[in-house]
């Protein structure tokens, strides 16, 4: 039986960790796997996807013995590094409908809206302190090329009777964000921001309370498939009835999945607290804001007045080998800082204290895919969150739990299950070198469009080749 070789992450040095992880001194609290162990379901990866899957399995089948193996510590991946923007899938309803049909698209969108309410419930009950603030998600344009990026999703929502979005004019955006660089857009009001690392750490606590076994600092290096797959780490071997691979971008190491997944980096910076300036310009609440560039800007202010400003970099690696550049870029966040000062010139003198990056697991359709490996019906995977996971992974957890538990229900039958109709990406080295050319064109296009200048035809053509 062929073994499956995993490619565990390069752990980030403490100084390269995200502002979110550093501000709560997040770290491992559970013991590494040692020796031989046994469980019903082994989950590889202790981010939101792995933890929600573990929680959903326990909700439906409390007697199932679930063990999570995490390479570093829970939340050390994308879940503890992201922009903290919480919004539903209604923003992607047009793409969802194209892939899974109208009924499933509506079900999945509504499920993410419910997930936001579930997060709110977890916070208000005191179960998970995640700093959730439902002050809205603003999807905006800061140049003419970006105007109306939301039209397809908004119009479809309206046609389906879902009034999720309200229009925003320049004055509304200025009043809510203290900047009018973005001057038109829409808002999803039951959405907002979280402290993402607190959410990950809170889910870990919830999982432990519910009897889920977690071993941190336990990178899985190899899986031997079979009726009872065996997962090998440096210190031990875990035998399981079923396995869930919830390792996000690191799933690109699995040859069967690699053709459907590409990994890009996104970079975030955090400023020193500047509550007085933010009060003065009127940016006071916990809204999340993004614009509609290809390398999207996403930002929020924390309750303490730190500005978190993120941007897709489009950074890639040959064969999707995720190295240390996916922990921290090495340029001190220069690109983000330039954009931060364009949107908020008032913050020019506020120091940036922290910069970091994280890998984004992308699919050609920009939507996740769930299933099991072709020759191994007991090894499942969840991948392709495409930079939108906070309200989506609780739903992913339901889908994967149904698959693992063998349920025949709306989750296991939904159109995100199965890789068959997904687009295969080109093999290496074409993929890497092609992506470099396309990335350069996208950046050129972005830079010109921000200035309301039209890129030349070659740039437009090459940028248009992006999946």
Ligand X SMILES: Cc1cc2nc3c(=O)[nH]c(=O)nc-3n(C[C@H](O)[C@H](O)[C@H](O)COP(=O)(O)OP(=O)(O)OC[C@H]3O[C@@H](n4cnc5c(N)ncnc54)[C@H](O)[C@@H]3O)c2cc1C
Q: Which residues bind ligand X (CB under 6 A)?
A: 6, 8-9, 44-50, 69-72, 76-79, 81-85, 219-220, 246-248, 250, 266, 268, 298, 310, 358-360, 385, 387-390, 393
Asked if 284 contacts 276 with a C-beta cutoff of 8 angstroms, the reply is: no
Please list the helix, strand and coil fractions of the chain in percent, rounded to the nearest 5, in that order. 35, 25, 40
CA distances from residue 75 to 3, 10, 29 in whole angstroms, order as listed: 27, 14, 12
Nearer to ligand X, 290 or 462 (CB): 290
Question: Could you tell me which of 27, 23, 53 has the C-alpha nearest to residue 41?
Answer: 53
Nearest approach in angstroms of CB 25 to ligand X is: 17
Nearest approach in angstroms of CB 314 to ligand X is: 13
In b/e form, how buried is each residue of 347-375, taking b as 16+ CB within 10 angstroms? Answer: beebebebbbbbbbbbbbbbbbbbbbbee
**Pairing verdict, β 137-141 and 288-290:** parallel
Nearest approach in angstroms of CB 388 to ligand X is: 5
The backbone torsions φ and ψ at residue 177, rounded to the nearest 5 degrees and listed phi first, read -125, -10
Nearest approach in angstroms of CB 276 to ligand X is: 26
Nearer to ligand X, 333 or 389 (CB): 389
Side-chain-side CA neighbours of 89 within 13 Å: the count stands at 28
Compute the distance between CA of residue 99 and CA of residue 101 in angstroms, rounded to an integer. Answer: 6
Nearest approach in angstroms of CB 306 to ligand X is: 15
Nearest approach in angstroms of CB 249 to ligand X is: 7
Question: Could you tell me which of 359, 375, 384 has the C-alpha nearest to residue 8?
Answer: 359
Nearer to ligand X, 9 or 455 (CB): 9
Compute the distance between CA of residue 135 and CA of residue 137 in angstroms, rounded to an integer. Answer: 7
Nearer to ligand X, 9 or 371 (CB): 9
Nearest approach in angstroms of CB 320 to ligand X is: 13
Nearer to ligand X, 45 or 136 (CB): 45
Nearer to ligand X, 16 or 72 (CB): 72
320: burial class by Cβ within 10 Å (0-12, 13-18, 19+)?
buried
Nearer to ligand X, 136 or 310 (CB): 310
Determine which helix (DSSP H) or strand (DSSP E) holds 49, and give its type and residue range: helix 48-60
Asked if 75 contacts 47 with a C-beta cutoff of 8 angstroms, the reply is: yes
Nearer to ligand X, 47 or 455 (CB): 47
DSSP assignment, residue 30? S
Nearest approach in angstroms of CB 47 to ligand X is: 2
Q: Which two tokens stand for residue 67?
A: 């063990």
Nearest approach in angstroms of CB 349 to ligand X is: 26
- The beta-carbon contacts of 91-94 under 8 Å, at least 24 apart in sequence, are 91/137, 91/139, 91/150, 91/153, 91/188, 92/153, 92/366, 92/367, 92/388, 93/153, 93/156, 93/157, 93/160, 93/162, 94/152, 94/153, 94/156
How many residues comprise the chain? 467
Nearer to ligand X, 398 or 455 (CB): 398
Dihedral over Cα of 140, 144, 149, 152: its sign? positive
Compute the distance between CA of residue 357 and CA of residue 325 in angstroms, rounded to an integer. Answer: 7
Nearest approach in angstroms of CB 382 to ligand X is: 7
Nearer to ligand X, 360 or 399 (CB): 360
Nearer to ligand X, 13 or 437 (CB): 13
Contacts of 321 (CB under 8 A, 6+ apart): 7
Nearest approach in angstroms of CB 248 to ligand X is: 3
Nearer to ligand X, 384 or 455 (CB): 384
Nearest approach in angstroms of CB 392 to ligand X is: 7
């Amino acid at each position: 039986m062929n073994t499956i070789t995993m490619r565990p992450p390069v752990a980030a040095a403490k100084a390269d960790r995200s502002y979110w992880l550093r501000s709560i001194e997040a770290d491992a609290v559970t013991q590494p796997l040692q020796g031989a162990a046994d469980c019903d379901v082994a989950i590889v990866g202790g981010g939101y996807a792995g933890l929600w899957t573990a929680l959903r399995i326990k909700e439906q089948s409390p007697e199932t013995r679930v063990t999570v193996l995490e390479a570093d510590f829970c939340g050390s991946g994308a879940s503890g590094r992201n922009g903290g923007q919480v919004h539903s899938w209604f923003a992607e309803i047009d793409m969802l409908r194209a892939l899974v049909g109208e009924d499933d698209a509506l079900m999945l969108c509504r499920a993410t809206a419910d997930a936001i309410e579930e997060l709110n419930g977890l916070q208000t009950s005191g179960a998970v302190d995640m700093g959730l603030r439902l002050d809205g998600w603003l999807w905006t344009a800061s140049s003419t090329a970006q105007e109306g990026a939301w039209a397809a999703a908004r119009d479809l929502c309206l046609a389906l009777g879902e009034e999720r979005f309200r229009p925003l004019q320049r004055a509304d955006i200025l009043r809510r964000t203290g900047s009018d660089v973005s001057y038109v857009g829409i808002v999803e009001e039951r959405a907002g921001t979280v402290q993402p690392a607190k959410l990950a750490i809170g889910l870990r606590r919830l999982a432990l309370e519910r009897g889920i076994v977690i071993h941190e600092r336990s990178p899985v290096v190899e899986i031997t498939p079979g009726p009872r797959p065996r997962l090998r780490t440096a210190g031990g071997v875990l035998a399981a009835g079923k396995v869930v691979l919830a390792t996000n971008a690191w799933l690109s190491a699995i040859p069967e999945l690699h053709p459907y997944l590409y990994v890009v980096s996104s970079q975030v910076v955090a400023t020193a607290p500047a509550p007085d300036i933010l009060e003065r310009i009127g940016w006071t609440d916990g809204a999340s804001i993004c614009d509609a560039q290809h390398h999207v800007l996403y930002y929020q202010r924390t309750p303490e007045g730190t500005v978190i400003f993120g941007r897709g970099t489009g950074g890639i690696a040959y064969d999707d080998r995720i190295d240390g550049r996916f922990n921290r870029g090495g340029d001190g966040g220069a690109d983000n800082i330039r954009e931060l000062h364009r949107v908020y010139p008032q913050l020019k003198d506020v120091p940036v204290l922290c910069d970091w990056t994280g890998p984004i697991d992308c699919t050609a359709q920009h939507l996740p895919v769930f299933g099991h490996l072709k020759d191994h019906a007991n090894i499942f995977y969840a991948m392709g969150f495409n930079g939108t996971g906070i309200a989506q992974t609780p739903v992913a957890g339901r889908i994967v739990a149904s698959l693992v538990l063998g349920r025949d229900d709306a989750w296991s039958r939904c159109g995100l299950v199965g890789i068959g109709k997904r687009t295969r990406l080109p093999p290496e080295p074409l993929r890497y070198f092609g992506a470099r050319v396309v990335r350069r064109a996208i950046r050129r296009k972005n830079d010109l469009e921000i200035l309301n200048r039209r890129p030349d035809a070659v740039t437009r053509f090459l940028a248009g080749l992006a999946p």
